[in-house]
Amino acid sequence: MRIGDLSGRTGVSVRLLRYYEEQQLLKPERRPSGYREYREQDAQTVQHIRTLLAAGLGTQTIAELLPCMVDTGQGLAPACPDMLPDLYREHDRMGRAIADLEAARATLERIIAATPPDEVRSDGCVEVEAAPAE
Report the CATH number of the 1-79 domain: 1.10.1660.10
Which residues face 77 on adjacent strands? Answer: 70
Q: CA–CA separation, 29 vs 49, rounded Å?
A: 19
Q: What is the pLDDT of residue 63?
A: 93
Helix axes 14-22, 3-10, angle to 10 degrees: 110
The domain ranges of the chain are 1-79, 80-115
Q: CA–CA separation, 14 vs 108, rounded Å?
A: 40
Q: What is the pLDDT of residue 130?
A: 57
Q: What is the pLDDT of residue 38?
A: 95
Residues 42, 8: contact at Cβ < 8 Å?
no
Q: What is the pLDDT of residue 115?
A: 80
Which residues face 29 on adjacent strands? Answer: 37
Q: What is the pLDDT of residue 47?
A: 94
Low-confidence ranges of the chain (pLDDT < 50): none
